[in-house]
Every structure is written in structure tokens, then in C-alpha cells.
Amino acid sequence: MDSKFKLVALFGKYQTSSSSSALASSRAALEAVAHILNAQGCDVVLEAETASNMDIVGYPALTMTQIGAQCDLGLVVGGDGTMLGIGRQLASYGVPLIGINQGRLGFITDIPYHSFDSCLTRMLHGEYVEDHRSLMNGRVMRDGRCVYSAMALNDVVVNRGATSGMVELRVEVDGHFVANQRADGLIIASPTGSTAYALSSGGPLLHPSIPGWVMVPIAPHTLSNRPLVLANTSHIAIELVAGRDASASFDQQSLASLMHGDRIEVTRSTHHARFLHPKGWSYFDTLREKLHWNEGVAST
């Protein structure tokens, strides 16, 4: 029986700083995955930048726009950072994504590379569960004009400069004043991003089914300034009142320099990323494995 997915796009992990051995390993992984896809009756294409940077030939190379319009499935071989970037770009097209983990944590690229073949084969034949993750729209407003905008799957972060002191931020939710906060920064995280920077800053874990965000201060001056869970229908505005060299980042992958008086506005996107997981997948299993819960505790 052939795969449910006819045309599959492959995405790999590459950076200009990657060593030749790391690129060779990534290239070998992509070629192994392509072989499995072909064996299951899939036509394989490569994302154009992946093909160019990894020097892989023998497969058509398509742009992201072409992949969104033509492909039935995207298969990401890399880590969560790679998946975040692809997820943002393909969310508006509704293309589902499967992640094979060659990174470290793998909260959303959850198929281990060492055992991907049997798991992937079952998924291609329909043995999977689908998981939708909401995105955020972020923009920087300056003197009433939008000077920067981006989508985020994990988080929108306002941060102080690397060598400067605290920033002072005025926070509003749905037009209501919340507080003036002095801290190293502020994180607005989705449930997907609640296991990332927000977690390391003391924020709670949000189940992906919860239609909410978490607002987490980074090293706040006032210890009573605690994380706050908000509805993801909220309109959040963060104004930079004081602080030098501050910036706003979106999934830690795009950056905007801020000036005093700038407002960073966060709203819910109309788009969702579609992730496919192996049948039987559980969010709690992922947390237990990745956060090393139950270590040293006898199972029952």
C-alpha cells in the first residue's frame, strides 16, 4: 500500500557555521529519509536552500512558496529551531509537518533519528495523530507606524542589551494598564514556547490545547512580579520606557532594535502550524522524557 502523502518536501538543518562533518551527517540523514519515502511510493522534493547548502542532487528543488502550494507533507530533519522556522513559513498554507530529531531536546521534532524508518513508514500509512499549534503576530510600533513585524510559534521577547542594566516596560492587556515593570526583559510565550525560554525564566508549562499565553518577566526587580497566564485572544502592548540597547525577538530568530517609546504589540495569528506525531503520542510522555521526570523513581 502506497503512502497517504504523494508529494513530500524535505527540509534539513544547515548553518554557514556548521562544520563539514556536521553537514555530511545531515546530508546522509536526508538521503536516508528520502530513500524511505521513495520506497513508500512518495515523490520527494527538496527545499531549495536545503538542496543548495547541502549540495544534494537528484531531486527537484522548490521554493517555500512552491512547497506550500504543491506538497502534501513537509518532513523536517533537524532540531526544534529548524522546525520552528519551517512551521512559521508553512502555517499559512496548511501543510502538515513531521519532525525527525537530529537536535538536542526535540519537543516538536519528536521522532528519534536512530529509529525513524519504522515509525515514519507507519505514519505515512496513516498511523499518526495531528496536533495544531497557534502562532502569534508581533509588531513594533514607532510614532504610530509599524516598523517591524513577524510571526512567532514559541515566543515574543523584549530583552535588555547585553551590557546594559534593566529595562522599564509599561504593559497593557486589551487596553488596560497592567504594570510598569523593571526587569531584564519580558516573555510572551505560546503553549509551544512554554517549554523554551519561558520555562527557564520560571514560567509554567501550558498544555498545547489551552487557548492561552503566558507572560513571564525575566529577572524582575520586584519579586512579587510573577508569571501571568492570559487568553490568547488578548491584545498585549509592551512599551519601552527606559533602558539601553533593548531589542524585541521573535522565536529568537528575528530581531528588532528598540527605541524609547516603541510599542511591541502581540496578537493571535489566524494561522496554525500542523504537526503530525506517531500514533499513541502523548504530550505528557514528551515532558517526562525531555525534562527527565521520574528519574530515580521506581515505575509502577
Residue 299: the pLDDT is: 55
E strands, the chain, are 7-12, 43-47, 61-62, 73-78, 97-101, 111-112, 128-142, 145-152, 155-159, 167-173, 176-183, 185-189, 212-218, 228-231, 236-242, 247-250, 254-257, 263-278
* pTM tops 0.85: yes
Burial of 19 from C-beta contacts in 10 A (0-12 / 13-18 / 19+): exposed
Low-confidence residues of the chain: pLDDT under 70: 1, 15-19, 296-300
CATH of domain 7-126: 3.40.50.10330
140-167 burial string, b = 16+ CB within 10 Å, else e?
bbeeeeeebebbbbbbbbbbbeeeeebb
Active-site annotation, residues:
80
Residue 126: the pLDDT is: 95
| 268 Cβ contact list (under 8 Å, min separation 6) | 134, 135, 136, 137, 232, 233
Q: Which of 58, 56, 59, 106 is nearest to 79 (CA)?
A: 106
Domain 135-269, what architecture?
Sandwich (2.60)
Residue 18: the pLDDT is: 58
For the chain, give the longest Cα–Cα distance: 62
Cα 201 versus chain centre, distance: 18
Q: Where are the domains of the chain?
A: 7-126, 135-269
Residue 17: the pLDDT is: 47
